[in-house]
Amino acid sequence: MSQDKKLVEAITSRNEDFAQWYTDIVRKADLADYSSVRGCMVIRPYGYAIWENIQKNLDQRFKETGHENVYMPMFIPESLLQKEKDHVEGFAPEVAWVTHGGEEMLTERLCVRPTSETLFCEHYANIIHSYRDLPKLYNQWCSVVRWEKTTRPFLRTLEFLWQEGHTAHATAEEAQEETIRMLNVYADFCEKVLAIPVIKGQKTEKEKFAGAKATYTIESLMHDGKALQSGTSHNFGDGFARAFNIQYTDRNNKLQYVHQTSWGVTTRLLGALIMVHGDDNGLVLPPEVAPVQVIVVPVQQHKEGVLDKAYEIKNIISKVARVGTDDSDKMPGWKFSEHEMRGVPLRLEIGPKDIEKNQCVLVRRDTNEKLFVSLDEIVEKVPQVLSAIQTDLLEKARAMRDQKTYAAKNMDEFKTICENTPGFIKAMWCGDQACEDKVKEITGATARCIPFEQDKISDTCVCCGNDAKHMVFWGKAY
Amino acid sequence: MSQDKKLVEAITSRNEDFAQWYTDIVRKADLADYSSVRGCMVIRPYGYAIWENIQKNLDQRFKETGHENVYMPMFIPESLLQKEKDHVEGFAPEVAWVTHGGEEMLTERLCVRPTSETLFCEHYANIIHSYRDLPKLYNQWCSVVRWEKTTRPFLRTLEFLWQEGHTAHATAEEAQEETIRMLNVYADFCEKVLAIPVIKGQKTEKEKFAGAKATYTIESLMHDGKALQSGTSHNFGDGFARAFNIQYTDRNNKLQYVHQTSWGVTTRLLGALIMVHGDDNGLVLPPEVAPVQVIVVPVQQHKEGVLDKAYEIKNIISKVARVGTDDSDKMPGWKFSEHEMRGVPLRLEIGPKDIEKNQCVLVRRDTNEKLFVSLDEIVEKVPQVLSAIQTDLLEKARAMRDQKTYAAKNMDEFKTICENTPGFIKAMWCGDQACEDKVKEITGATARCIPFEQDKISDTCVCCGNDAKHMVFWGKAY
């Protein structure tokens, strides 16, 4: 069919030019568009609907774990940003500054929030007085701004959407529990909903968040062998509490500092969905987040009864899945390509011959597999197939990741892998930042995390040969 | 009970000092807190939960009327803001300007969006080509910034949350239909969900939105007799389309400009909820938007079986309403006052004597009415009472508004009403802006709207005495 060839040809092949393939999908699947503001994107309805599904699912998980949503101002006075030393050093070089309101110059510059620790801390100092006020388990959905030099839709933009959890606890133990609890919420969400397997672990001192005592991360692997930091959870200890004087009276009437955490995921998860599951025909969406899970495409729709049957089937399926009908006047092949490009998990074809046989054809986006199903069974069959797609996508992604995960005992092996077979590299580390820096200098790879599940690749640091402390996942990252 | 007296005394009486009473409720009901950024507020969990209920309900109405959500950048380059002449004149004096990104001065200033017409127009010019691309029915949930001189929580803040619908249509008729459709959605939402009756009408030329052909509004009346513009819907005609060159090829292959609309409501609706329904004991929430509809308060909870019964009742009610249990160690009277302050529509008291009689006590927040209900009937009774509260609040608000709506035939009557009995004033108008200006100069009242439902108060303009064109709702406004 010439028309769908034309459409498919419009995307660059994934193996030919991964970056261009990515950009092509962003545009052709109607996920985002450029705007006249450098590095800022328009999130289009289809992209935003995926984000809404992500939000809905995560928000429910946050509420089930006792969190409440709030909204903080988008501006931070310069003096407030400067209260925690490490934090301001990390963020000040990359914030946008508001200097004028209306016609007037401001007496103090305001930055557009790059993250909201300082605002939450100021508020917590106001409202936390007694142990009865703890814990405070707050979350915020908003947009933040970081003045990046180079940007790519979803992966790195000047402005992005995210959620930021900020909690305050009576004890260090509770803060640590919360930090890990939310990391696990993220990991479970990524695997069950996005069908993206993740490595859970701790960031090195060099890679941790500005102002944190410890940063934990979930790291996923993209199809080109590059890593993507997909979510982080930070334990702040009482560092911010001391800087902002957030104290409470404990049960013994003694003043104590609170212990805090923060954790966040962003719209870059849409980038992960593209780069983990997508193929040369476009986006491939896991059913759990797909705005449309099943698209009914009538074949020879001008023939009597075909469109009516398509609507009838749509109505039946609407009870068990998010379903649409494409009754536009385009050719079926063209429609097939369009919905493939948009990653709709399941296509349902129905034509005159199918109607005669009281059947329809289900075509899986992920495998192209065709299933002939009796119309009497679709209401059972569709959820089964969607569920199989969800499971299979995760397994496929896990197999891809495992296949692209290598072990290196020394720098020669490390370099060879980096140059020839990009992916995760498991290698031992002495714990010294000098070695971490040197690995990056030589190979471009960074320490993605010290995973919770430790293997022993060898006894000695891959870089200096001294005794190893940890096994680290290394990789080039987005 | 001394403790709840103490709490109640902490609020100013509504009749004594309405402005202070308002501020007291905002603080004591935990709706919002101040921040160190002038004019920006922290929306606290309880306030945000009300906003989430507003969002959920409106978002469903938008989707049912065919709209899709998108996300536009928060920044607008100065040159883009200037493309539509009336629009930039209206907004430029009150925007926040970003002049620096990181360490660098920007070559062009960016304003933080005060509203997003210009961004939507730029995007529409990119994506609309043919009549097949129309209509575009987009909506955005976000925050916007307007550099106001004086601010009050929810009513007027530098930053506020809102939704802004932006649509593009093939014809002027379709754009007008959409404008009125969304005004009706807002009106229905206000009455059915917020229990706030509204006057629907058109703004005068003087009061219309910067860049609009016509602005429609819903106006509500607060308990102090001041009006609140509660939502607006604008028909832009093809003015923005001409400025941004948004054209499409029609069925006859001719180039045409699109016709556009926009419409929005904001977090000021929380201000309306306070000022329409609140009383000297605090907030009064309509059940439809109340985060907690029923609070179960155990009495003598240390006695055996009381707490268990309270939890049991909570579980039963949770199937039909949003319900909480207050099992804190505070005195019951203190708890009563707290939940009254937060406007919880229905309190359920359960103590040892009630348990003996297999009953509980329901207390309505709006009327203080006590109902003794058998525990076997609560699952039916609670939704009935909640529904009655919802209906009664609307009727009470309507009666209050009607009572505070006056008619004036001449300026003497108009002035007398303004000075002695603040409220809506129905009076005739010749349509001349000079009269509109003069009424404001003399009385401080502005034309709230030319209502769709016209009465005839007299034959002549209340100001100049010439032939009247319209009956206008006038009032002092927030």
Residue B7 has pLDDT above 60, yes or no: no
Which CATH number fits the domain B294-390, given the four candidates 3.30.200.20, 3.30.70.360, 3.40.50.800, 2.40.30.10?
3.40.50.800
Between strands B405-407 and B424-429, the pairing is: parallel
pLDDT higher than threshold 70 for residue B44? yes
Quick one: closest CA in B to A91, which residue?
B102
A100 in contact with chain B, both atoms CB, cutoff 8 A: yes
> Mean pLDDT over residues B25-44, rounded?
95
ipTM score assigned to the predicted complex: 0.95
Report the amino acid identity of residue B393. Answer: L
Whether B45 and A112 lie within 8 Å, measured CB to CB: no
Evaluate if residue B189 carries a pLDDT over 80.
yes
In this structure, how many other beta carbons lie within 10 angstroms of the beta carbon of residue A429? Answer: 23
Ranges of residues in chain A whose predicted pLDDT is under 50: 1-6, 8
Query: A294-389, which class in CATH?
Result: alpha beta
Contact A86, A237 (CB under 8 A): no
Identify the closest residue of chain A to B98 by CA–CA distance.
A98
Q: Residue B9 has what pLDDT?
A: 56
Of A33, A45, A119, the CB nearest to B126: A33
Enumerate the residues of chain A whose CB falls inside 8 A of the CB of residue B51: 71
Of B45, B77, B99, the CB nearest to A97: B99
With an 8 Å Cβ cutoff, are B96 and A98 in contact? yes
Closest chain B residue to A71, measured at CA: B43
Closest CA of chain A from B39, distance in Å: 9
Q: Which residues of chain A lie closer than 8 angstroms to B117, CB-CB?
A: none
Tell which B residues from 127 to 146 touch A, by Cβ distance under 8 Å: 127, 138, 142-143, 145
Domain B14-277 maps to which CATH number in 3.30.110.60, 2.40.50.150, 3.30.930.10, 3.20.20.150?
A: 3.30.930.10
DSSP string, B144-204: EE---SS-BTTTB-SEEEEEEEEEEESSHHHHHHHHHHHHHHHHHHHHHTS----EEEE--
Q: Check CB contact under 8 Å for B37 and A70.
A: no
Residues of B in contact with A71 (CB under 8 A): 42-43, 48, 51, 143, 161
Is the CB of residue B74 less than 8 Å away from at least one CB of chain A?
Answer: yes
Q: Which residue of A has its CA nearest to B126?
A: A33
Distance of CA A307 to the CA centre of its chain: 38
- pLDDT above 80: residue B291: yes
B100 CB neighbours in chain A (<8 A) are 96-97, 99
Write down the mean pLDDT value for chain B: 96
Going by pLDDT thresholds of 50, 70 and 90, the confidence category of residue B124 is: very high
Does the A2-277 domain belong in CATH 3.30.930.10? Answer: yes
Q: So what's the pLDDT on residue B197?
A: 98
How far is the C-alpha of B15 from the C-alpha of B279, rounded, in Å? 10
**Looking at the complex, does the CB of residue A125 fall below 8 Å from at least one CB of chain B?**
no
The residue-averaged pLDDT of B193-222 equals 97
Same fold yes or no, A294-389 and A405-475: no
Query: How close B41 comes to chain A (CA, Å)?
Result: 6
Residue A383 preceded by cis peptide, ω within 30:
no
Name the B residues in 289-328 with CB < 8 Å from any A CB.
Answer: none
Closest Cα in chain B, distance from residue A378 (Å): 26
Query: Facing residues of A130 across strands?
Result: A249
Confidence of residue B87 (pLDDT cuts 50, 70, 90): confident
Segment 26-65 of chain B within 8 Å of chain A by CB:
33, 35-37, 40-45, 48-49, 51-52
Does B125 reach chain A within 8 Å, measured CB to CB?
no
Q: What is the pLDDT of residue B1?
A: 38
Instruction: Give the pLDDT of residue A86.
Output: 87
Model confidence at B43: pLDDT above 60 = yes
Cα(A222)–Cα(A224) distance, integer angstroms:
5
CB contact (8 A) between residue A102 and residue B93? yes
Cα gap B311→B285, rounded to integer Å: 24
Helices (H) and strands (E) in chain B, counts: 15, 23
Q: Structural domain boundaries of chain A?
A: 2-277, 294-389, 405-475
Minimum CA–CA partner of B119 in chain A: A35
pLDDT at A4: 45
Per residue in B334-367, pLDDT (tens digit) is 999 999 999 999 999 999 999 999 999 999 999 9
CATH dotted code for B405-475: 3.30.110.30
User: Best residue in A31, A34, A37, A138 to probe B by mutation, most B CBs within 10 Å?
Assistant: A37
Task: For residue B101, give the nearest of A42, A123, A147 by CB distance.
Answer: A147
CA distance B254 to chain A (A): 21
Q: Which residues in chain B have Cβ-Cβ distances shorter than 8 Å to A99?
A: 97-100
Pairwise CA distance, residues B277 & B367, whole Å: 12
Q: Hey, of B40, B42, B55, B111, which one would you mutate to test binding to chain A, going by the most A CBs within 10 A of its CB?
A: B42
Instruction: Find the residue in B nearest to A33 (Cα).
Output: B123
Contact between A297 and A348 (Cβ < 8 Å)? yes
pLDDT band of residue B460 (cuts 50, 70, 90) is very high
Separation between Cα atoms, residue A288 and residue A188, nearest integer Å: 13
Question: pLDDT digit string (tens) for B260-278?
Answer: 999 999 999 999 999 999 9
Report d(CA A91, CA A46) in Å as an integer: 32
Report the candidate in A398, A361, A365, A351 with the shortest Cα–Cα distance to residue A293. A365
pLDDT attached to residue B23? 97
Task: Give the gap in angstroms from C-alpha A32 to the nearest C-alpha of chain B.
Answer: 9
Q: Are A336 and A4 in contact (CB under 8 A)?
A: yes
pLDDT of residue A84: 87
Distance from CA of B83 to the nearest CA of A (A): 13
The pLDDT value given to residue B84:
87
CA pair distance B279, B24, nearest whole angstrom: 11
> For residue A239, what are its two tokens?
């560092």
- At B2 the pLDDT is 42
Q: Is A391 on the interface with B (CB under 8 A)?
A: no
What B188-194 contacts at long range (C-beta under 8 Å, 24+ apart), as own/partner pairs, is: B188/B61, B189/B57, B189/B58, B189/B61, B190/B218, B190/B220, B190/B230, B190/B231, B190/B269, B191/B394, B192/B288, B193/B54, B193/B57, B193/B286, B193/B288, B193/B289, B194/B54, B194/B269, B194/B272, B194/B273, B194/B276, B194/B286, B194/B288, B194/B289
Residue of A nearest to B112 (CA): A98
Chain A positions touching B145 (Cβ under 8 A) are: 74
Instruction: Give the pLDDT mean for B58-63.
Output: 98
User: Which residue in the block uniquely carries the two structure tokens 């539509």?
Assistant: B84
Of B95, B103, B159, the CB nearest to A74: B159
SS3 assignment, position A427: strand
To probe the interface with A, which of B35, B43, B142 has the most A CB atoms within 10 Å? B35
pLDDT of residue A9: 56
- The minimal CB distance from A126 to the residues B33, B77, B102 is found for B33
Give the residue from chain A lying closest to B81, CA to CA: A36
CB contact (8 A) between residue A76 and residue B147: no
